[in-house]
Amino acid sequence: MNTHLERFAQIAEILTRHGLGFLAGALGLERWLPGPAPMPAEEPTTPVRLRVALEELGPTFIKLGQLLSTRSDILPVAYLNELSKLQDAAPPVSAAEIRSLIQQELGAIPERLFASFDDEPLASASIGQAHAATLMDGTEVVVKVRRPGIVARIDEDLEILQNLAARASRRWEAAADYNLTGIATEFADTLRAELDYLREGRNAERFAENFAAIPEIYVPGIFWATTTSRVLTMERIRGIKVDQIEALDHAEINRGEVAQRAARAVAKMIFEDGFFHADPHPGNLFIQPGGRIALIDFGMVGEIDEGLRDQLVGVLFALTSSDPERMGSALRAISVTRPTMDQSALRRDCARFIQLYKGLQLREVKIAPLVTQMLAILRNHHLQLPRDMALLLKMVLMAEGMGVRLDPEFSLGEILRPYAKALAQARFSPRNLAERLGKAGLEAAELGMILPEKLRTLLENMDGGVEVHLRAAELEPLVGRVERIGNRLVAGMIAAAFIRGIGELTAADRERLRTWQNPLLGAGLGAAGSLGAYLAWTARRRKYRGPR
């Protein structure tokens, strides 16, 4: 704990020295605040001061800044741009330490494991450093070695960050609204996963499997015989970095085709695989002869499950149908926070947003401003995206920026359109609708069945100065009444689900509907009509019987 106290004091001192004493106070570090630091004649902007402070605080905070640079739903653009400049570099570990660690992990000195091993690192970062080597069969590889002692240092900082997040959430309304404690926990899980090179190797193999049938995308192989959680041996990739435009032109690479291939790879990751590279910056993309794209660095990945993809389609459907009410509901559904909000203000913001894109085809839309404006709505209403959705949007923005740099005529929207259309059609297919209706019915039925028991529990547990004196005989009529309400609620929800599902299907794809509309509409409307009749009958029956 004494170490934590020293670190608290260090954090407060660094933040204050960079003119961020207000942030230290919001994080609950008042007792460690020094006097106000003198500011330079030309004071840097707050985003710049934050970046410099994070760099000085060390590897954990640099990684935190890099994560925050992906959170357009939380931070304004000026902060995102500045935090994107954070460099994850560090002085290299000595060759003797690296050799000792390799021997501990792999059971032999480098000369017995590799035909050659270069003591001079290719790169040195906060978590580990990379060395060039050659296998006994002549294959060129890169050996990544985790820094000695880095896990203990990061674990301490992660504990401190979670403590600071809890402090801030108790005293700062915005921190609670944005679920700062949840972000800190999520960040801790993500960073600890990055420390495990076995996981990175498995990620690489999963990408290799996903793109095995696409020769234009290449994923380097992993050599498991010389890989552990602290050492990763990966095939060495050579090529031209994707942002080296002159070198690409000199090699006579078709930049437009490269942009198209990269965009199709992004679309496949999102709409087909649900598994994507979350850090596709230029240093991780190499262009090889023939325009083949090679990916490296699989420590940061994201996953989009069927539920998140369905919610994404819901947002797109609301946009294309020009429905502000539906868009507000879709944004609330996709958010992991549930702050108190002005629903009318959210609807107005959605209406203004929709008006900007009304009548445009997806291929005519620039993705970056669309995403930026949507994220501004989320930020203004304290709605926070799931981590993987935020990473996905960051990847999409990076992909569009890279594509436009390669080819000024590039349109990411045009590439994404057929994938999004196929996903929307699948969402509104007869089978999918039937599954969703069935699930809604089961959930509604479960709600109706558990509601009486929940009421019993509530009455049994009421306290705080309110005494409830109810005999069992007096409680039974109330429970029976709740059961009848629950039954009507179930029927009403199922009927609404039928009607809404059929309406969405009709709006989504009229041509698709024609081949089977008579039996489906007949069955659906018949079921909805029967349930509606039941609701009317029970309401009328209760009216004439009067209260019990």
**Best CA proximity match to 429, nearest among 516, 330, 497:** 516
**Best CA proximity match to 36, nearest among 13, 6, 10:** 13
Question: 314: exposed, middle or buried (C-beta count within 10 Å: 0-12, 13-18, 19+)?
Answer: buried
- Domain segments of the chain: what residues? 2-88+152-192, 89-148+197-236, 238-427, 430-545
CATH of domain 89-148+197-236: 3.30.200.20
Tokens encoding 276: 């994507």
Whether the CB-CB separation of 303 and 392 falls below 8 Å is answered with no
Whether the CB-CB separation of 353 and 373 falls below 8 Å is answered with yes
Q: In which residue ranges of the chain is pLDDT below 70?
A: 1-3, 35-42, 362, 427-548
The DSSP letter of residue 222 is B
The one catalytic residue in 157, 177, 279, 388 is: 279
pLDDT above 70 covers what percent of the chain?
A: 75
| Residue 450: how many other CB atoms lie within 10 Å | 12
CA distance 35 to 418: 59
Question: 429: exposed, middle or buried (C-beta count within 10 Å: 0-12, 13-18, 19+)?
Answer: middle
CA distance 33 to 14: 10
E-state strands within 312-456:
none
CA distance 481 to 548: 9
Output the pLDDT for position 474: 47
Catalytic residue check, 279: yes
Output the pLDDT for position 441: 60
CA distance 261 to 278: 17
Tokens encoding 368: 């970056």
**Best CA proximity match to 233, nearest among 106, 97, 362, 371:** 106
CA distance 430 to 128: 51
The DSSP letter of residue 132 is E
Output the pLDDT for position 154: 94
Output the pLDDT for position 266: 93
Output the pLDDT for position 309: 85
Whether the CB-CB separation of 24 and 16 falls below 8 Å is answered with yes
Output the pLDDT for position 459: 62
Quickly tell me which residue has 């031209």 as its tokens. 240
> What's the farthest any 2 CA atoms get from each other in the chain?
93
Name, in order, each residue with C-beta under 8 angstroms of 401's C-beta and a sequence gap of 6 or more: 368
Q: What is the model's pTM?
A: 0.76
